[in-house]
Amino acid sequence: MRIKNKLLWLILGIASAVTAVFPLIIGFNKLLAYDNGEYYPYVPVNAYVGGDAYNFIINANYASAYFILAGTLILSAIGCGILWYLSGISTETINKEPVTTLPNPNELNSPDSPESSDDADTSAT
């Protein structure tokens, strides 16, 4: 199940990053491709109303919306990448052997242990 989650985050991250390219292209198209259609071949491109300034304002609003959408998709891809990395770490820690328990500290300092008798001999010299 955990490997499926890791694969899911990888696929979602890549798909989100690839999908972010399309709003960027459309946004730059709204900013850079403009023709009011007054000259031959009389085909307006990204022109909605009669005035150039109004069309530039409308296109700027469209472009900013597309750039925000692209930024959100890129942040989503970064988040999926982080989750993909973290799910890999959790999978590695689950598959490791359990840590052995440490001895009781009270048993280490008991008078029966050889370490405590060595300390007594060194203090006498």
Instruction: List pLDDT tens digits, range 57-86.
Output: 999 999 999 999 999 999 999 999 999 999
46, 59 Cβ separation under 8 angstroms: yes
Separation between Cα atoms, residue 35 and residue 23, nearest integer Å:
21
Assess whether pLDDT exceeds 80 at residue 92: no
Instruction: Give me the count of residues in the chain.
Output: 125
Please state the domain extents for the chain: 2-99
CB atoms within 10 A of CB 91: 13
3-state secondary structure of 49: coil
3-state secondary structure of 50: coil
Separation between Cα atoms, residue 3 and residue 114, nearest integer Å:
49
Q: What percent of the chain has pLDDT over 70?
A: 71
3-state secondary structure of 45: strand
Task: Look up residue 102 and give its two tokens.
Answer: 């440490």
Question: Mean pLDDT across the chain, nearest whole number?
Answer: 84
